[in-house]
Structure 1
Amino acid sequence: MLGISLFDNTYEPVLFAVFGGIILIFLVIDLGVFNRKAHKISTKSALFQSIFWVVISVCFGFLIYLNDGGTETSLAYFSAYLTEYALSVDNIFVILLILRYFKVKEEYYHNILFWGILGALVFRAIFIFVGAYLIGQFYWILYIFGVFLVYSGIKIFFEGEEDEIDPGKNPILKFARKHLKITKGDFGGRFMVRKGGSLLFTPLFLVIILIETTDLIFAVDSIPAAFAITQSEFIIYTSNIFAVLGLRAKFFLLANIIDKFYLLQKGLAFILIFIGAKMLIELVDIHIPIVASFTVIIVTLVGSIVMSIVLPEKNTESSD
C-alpha cells in the first residue's frame, strides 16, 4: 500500500479541534486586532511571523506524534509539510510578479495575501477531500499522480527565466475584465465599491482572483505529492494549510532576496521526481521507508539552499 492511511478516531477529532482552534484564533487576531489598517509589513515582523508559524507547525506535528504513539505518522506529516512549504516558494515568485504587474502599493500586500490564504483554506480542502474520495474509489489514480509528479519535476528542472508568466495573458483575468465592471482606483485597498447604485470591482479584486487561481495551479503539484506520502486527508490537509499559513510571512521575508536561491527550483524539481518515482516503484513491490523519504526531502532542500549561497549564480548579462 502506498504511504500510510490514518483514520484513528481516538485522536483525530481532538487534533482537528486543535487545528480548527488555531486557524480561528489566527483569523480573528490577524485581521481583527493587529492588521485592522493597511500598512507595510517590516522584515523584522515577517521574520517573527515566519518563526511563529514554523514553531506552531512543528508543535502540531509533535502533538500528532504523542497522540499516534509512533514516528511514522508524524514523519508523514513533516514530510508533507516540508514538501508544501518548499513548493510554496514558487508561489512567492508568481505572487510578487502579479503584485508588481498591477503596481499594488506595499501597504495593501498584507490584506491581499490574507484573503488569498483564506480562499486557499477552502479550495484546498475541496481539492484534498475530492482527491481522497476518488482514490478511495479508484486506487490506480495514485499511479497517475506518480507519472504526473515525475513529468512536473522534469519540466520544472529544465524551466528557464524565459518561461516567466505574463499575468496579462491569464484567461480568467481576461474573462473578469470583459464581464465585470472594473474601476481604475484602489479606493483605499477595497476590493469592491458601490457607485450610483452599481457594484464596481477594483483592480485589487482582480489581483485576488489571480492569486487564488495561481494557488490552485500550484496545488496541482503539491497535493498529489502529499498523497504520495500518505493517503490521510487529515495529515494532508493540516500539513498543507500550516505551510500555506506561513506563506504570507515568508513572502515578506524573502520577496527581495528569493532570487539568490537559484538552485532551490532544481531541488524542488528533484523532490517531485523522487516522490513520483517512489510511488511508481511500489508497483513492483519496492517500498521506500517514510524515514528515508523524509531524509531525502530535507537534505535536498537544505543542500539546494546552501549550494545557492556557497556558489552564487554568475551574472551572464553583459556590462555596459
Structure 2
Amino acid sequence: MHWIVFFSVVAAALAVDLGFVGRKDGVVSTRTAYAWSAVWVSLGLGFSGLVYLWYGGEAAQQYLAGYLIEESLSIDNLFVFLLVFGSLGIALNHQRKVLFWGILGAIVMRGGFIVAGVGLITRFEWIVYFFGALLVYTAYRLVRSHGVHVDPEKNPMVRFARRLFPVAADYRGHNFHVRRAGKVFITPLAIALVAVESADIVFAVDSVPAVLAISNITFVVFTSNIAAILGLRSLYFALAGSLQRFEYLSWGLAVVLAFVGVKMLISHWVHIPILVSLGVIVVAVGAAVIVSLLLTRGAGPDAEAREAAGREDLATGEAEETPAVVGGSRQDPETAGREIV
C-alpha cells in the first residue's frame, strides 16, 4: 500500500509537470522553473509526514536526512547536465526531453542499486565498512581535486552506442533517432541521454551508500532518493545560468560524505543519533552555499552579464568549451576530480 501511494504521487506529479511545463516545445522560463522546484521540494519534504505515520518518528528523521543528502549531492548532476548539453550543442528547448527520460531511467537504476545495497548490508555485515571507506575516499578526492571533468566522447557507453549506430551529428530536432536512406541513425539527443544516464550510475555509487549510512529501511532509502532526483529538471532550468557561483559547494559535500563514511566505519561501536546527522548535513551544505554566494557576489561588474549569457548559450545549444568543474573553480581536465567520461 505504501509503495502504491508513493508511485501514484510520483506519476501524478510527473504528468502535471510534463503536461503543464512541457508545453511550448519544452522551453521553461526561470520563474516557472523556480516555482516547480518549490513544488518538488515541498512534495519531497512533505512526504516525510507519511513516513512518520507509517514507520514512526525515527524513520521520518532518516527520510529527511536521506533526502537532504541526495538533494545536496544531486547538484553535482546539474553541473554534469550543463556540461554534457554544452559539449554536444543541445538546445535548451530539447534538453527537457533528455532530462525527463534520463530521470525515469535513473529511478529504475537507483531502485536496483538500493535493493542490492540493502541486501548486501543485510547479508554481509562487513560491506558497511567498504561503503564507509568508499565515501571517505570520495570526500578526499573532492577536497583534493575540487572538481569534475566531463568528456562525453570518452564515455564508454557513448562510444558503445556510436559503434552500434551511426550518428546524425547535424540533426538538431527533438527525436532520439531518425531514418536516412533506409538506415537508422541516432541523434545528439540520444548521445546526451546515454551520457546523462551513465553519469547517474557514477553518482549513485556515492549517493546510495551515503543514504544507506542513515537508514537500512528499503522504503525510506528509495523514496528519499527518488523524491530528491525528481525535481532535478526544474532545478536545472532554475540554476543553469548561475551554477558556477557555487564555488565552495564541493567542500560542503566533502564534509557530508566524510561524515557519513566515518559514521558507517564506527557504526559497530558508536551510534550517532539521526538528529546529529541532520544537523551536520544542514550546516555543512548550508555554510558552503552561503559562503559561495557571498564570495562570488562581487566577482566582477560583468557577473550578471555572464550569467545571462550562460542562459542564452543554453537556449541556442552553443556553449564555450572550458574545463569542467563541479562546485569549484575552473581547472585543467588533467587535475579534475571525479571524472565522468
Q: Aligned partners of 2:135 and 2:202: how far apart in 1?
A: 13
Residues 1:32 and 1:260: Cα distance change in structure 2 (over 3 Å): closer
Q: How does 1:129-148 map to 2 (within 5 A)?
A: 129-148=115-134
Q: Secondary structure at the match of 1:199?
A: strand
Give the deviation of 1:37 after TM superposition: 5.2
Is 1:23 paired with 2:10? yes
Is 1:74 paired with 2:60? yes
Q: Aligned partners of 1:191 and 1:87: how far apart in 2?
A: 28
Is 1:48 paired with 2:32? no
After superposition, the C-alpha distances for 1:232-262 in whole angstroms (9 at most, x for unaligned) are 1111110000110011111111111121121
Q: Secondary structure at the match of 1:242?
A: helix
Give the deviation of 1:165 after TM superposition: 2.3
Give the deviation of 1:69 after TM superposition: 3.6
Q: Aligned partners of 2:178 and 2:43: how far apart in 1?
A: 37
Q: Aligned partners of 2:216 and 2:94: how far apart in 1?
A: 38
The residue identity in structure 2 corresponding to 1:310 is: L
Q: Secondary structure at the match of 2:185?
A: strand
Gaps of 5+ in 1: 1-12
Count of matched residue positions in the alignment of Structure 1 and Structure 2: 301
- Matching residue within 193, 214, 226 for 1:229: 214
- Give the equivalent residue in structure 1 for 2:114: 128
After superposition, the C-alpha distances for 1:46-81 in whole angstroms (9 at most, x for unaligned) are 0001000011011101111133342x1111001000
The residue identity in structure 2 corresponding to 1:67 is: W
Q: Aligned partners of 1:167 and 1:200: how far apart in 2?
A: 18
Is 1:306 paired with 2:290? yes
Q: Aligned partners of 1:17 and 1:191: how far apart in 2?
A: 31
- Give the equivalent residue in structure 1 for 2:315: none
The residue identity in structure 1 corresponding to 2:276 is: A
Which deviates further from its counterpart, 140-149 or 166-175?
166-175
Is 1:174 paired with 2:159? yes
Which deviates further from its counterpart, 23-32 or 238-247?
23-32
User: Is contact 1:173–1:206 with CA below 8 Å preserved after alignment?
Assistant: yes
Residues 1:197 and 1:142: Cα distance change in structure 2 (over 3 Å): same
- Give the equivalent residue in structure 1 for 2:45: 58
Q: Secondary structure at the match of 1:164?
A: coil
User: Is contact 1:183–1:203 with CA below 8 Å preserved after alignment?
Assistant: yes
TM-align CA RMSD: 1.9
Residues 1:33 and 1:258: Cα distance change in structure 2 (over 3 Å): closer
Give the deviation of 1:286 after TM superposition: 1.2
Q: Secondary structure at the match of 1:310?
A: helix
After superposition, the C-alpha distances for 1:290-319 in whole angstroms (9 at most, x for unaligned) are 1111111111111111112233387899xx
Q: How does 1:1-320 map to 2 (within 5 A)?
A: 13=1, 15-32=2-19, 34-35=21-22, 38-70=25-57, 72-160=58-146, 164-186=149-171, 188-283=173-268, 285-312=269-296
TM-score normalised to the size of structure 2?
Answer: 0.83
**Amino-acid identity (%):** 40
The residue identity in structure 2 corresponding to 1:166 is: D
Give the deviation of 1:194 after TM superposition: 2.8
Give the deviation of 1:197 after TM superposition: 3.6
Gaps of 5+ in 2: 301-328, 331-341
Residues 1:34 and 1:95: Cα distance change in structure 2 (over 3 Å): closer
Give the deviation of 1:114 after TM superposition: 0.5
Which deviates further from its counterpart, 167-176 or 73-82?
167-176
